[in-house]
Amino acid sequence: MTHPPADRWRNAVRDLKPGLLALTLALGTAGGALFAYFQLPLAWMIGSMVFCTAAAMSGLPVHVPGGLRSAMIMILGIMLGSAFSPDILGRLGDWALSLTGLALYILTGGALGILFLRRVARYDPVTSFFTATPGGLNEMVIVGGAMGGDDRTISVAHSARVMLVVMVVPVWFQFFEGYSPATRGPLGPGLTEVPPVDLALLASCAVGALLGKWLRLPAYMLVGPMLLSAAIHLAGLTAGKPPGVMVGAAQIVVGAALGSRFSGVRLSRIAHTLAIASGLTLMLLAVTMVFSVALHWLTGIPLPALVLAFAPGGLAEMSLVALALGVDAAFVSTHHIVRIVLIVSLVPLVFRLYSHVTDRRLPKKGPGEPPPPPAGG
């Protein structure tokens, strides 16, 4: 059923919740400022995420409306598109092997994840499958719930995976790869440093979100603007980037939105799922390192770029990490987009095969036997 424009507007206003939004953004900004003061990696996003996660776990009703997050995601998409300079066309052939390796990475990481969740966490087969998939948070929650899995467990576990990856990977770069936030400089040009013509061209790329939705692209709010931005940069129409203050605001909002996902979830459930997700995430990061080192040896592509391209975090979050660390953001975002496309397109087929195998292995329930306990119970 389609809602008239007036109803959609009223729903958007109700979702805004100005008081809760002000509290959430104040917490996120305070966290980002504190982390930036101590020169921690990806300070504005991780600081915002940590403060808002702590607030959610303590019972505060932190909230980021979907519309605000979408607007910030579009800014991030435009920023990512600006990384596609004309000279990148000559390097696309070098990415073929690493892009091909993504399918094997997804199958390997997913299979090991299912084994871990079935044997260690004792999740049911459906919940294990959709929780172990290394990506596609929204799609896995929706499809997993429709297939009979525990959608709340799937949602919390995927959110925890993204949060843990965002926290672990930049810290690893700082302490083991010699990355120094102090040497990275500002997040982007000053607000008055971007010529009006370039600013108008960049702003027009937001239309890509509508085009992406029409084309049914994955993560269309980010991918659509990114593709338009990449097109105008590859064509040489502009070399401009969004102002740094807007990129910083995007980091705060994305971090706050990640933390807000834990709002309303019982602390005991968060603690249990975090423990399980930590084990799953560490295992997936180990698989990431194996694939990254192997592909670095085969292709010569820098190891940091491969680690971020294969890390089991979200597209928006890992792209922000790449921007903050000065790693090839075009390479990283392209690989994460392909990963989402592969997951969304392959999951239905793989799940049918998986269901066939598990149905044959599970004991048949007698007529008077109770149903199995819920996942994670």
| pLDDT tens, residue by residue, 88-110 | 766 777 788 999 999 999 999 99
In angstroms, the CA 75 to CA 116 distance is: 37
337: CB partners within 8 A, 6+ apart:
218, 219, 223, 315
C-alpha span between 79 and 222 (Å, rounded): 10
What lies within 8 Å, CB to CB, of 84 at 6+ separation is 229, 230, 233, 234, 330
For the stretch 34-65, what's the b/e string if a residue is b when 16 or more beta carbons lie within 10 angstroms of its beta carbon?
A: ebbeeebbbbbbbbbbbbbbebbbeebebbbb
Cβ contacts of residue 249 below 8 Å, gap of 6+? 72, 75
Q: Which residues of 139-162 are buried (b: 16+ CB within 10 A; e: fewer)?
A: bbbebbbeeebbbbbbbbbbbbbb
CA distances in angstroms from 108 to 10, 24, 135, 138, listed in the order given: 45, 38, 13, 21
CA distance 239 to 260: 35
Other beta carbons less than 10 A from residue 283's beta carbon: 17
Q: Is the dihedral of CA 13, 17, 19, 23 positive or negative?
A: negative
CA atoms within 13 A on the CB side of 19: 2
The pLDDT score that the predictor gives to residue 218 is 77
Q: Is there a contact between 132 and 303 (Cβ–Cβ < 8 Å)?
A: no
**Which residue, among 201, 199, 208, 209, has the nearest Cα to 245 in the 3D structure?**
199
Which residue ranges of the chain lie beneath pLDDT 50?
A: 1, 9, 364-377
pLDDT at residue 112, as a whole number? 96
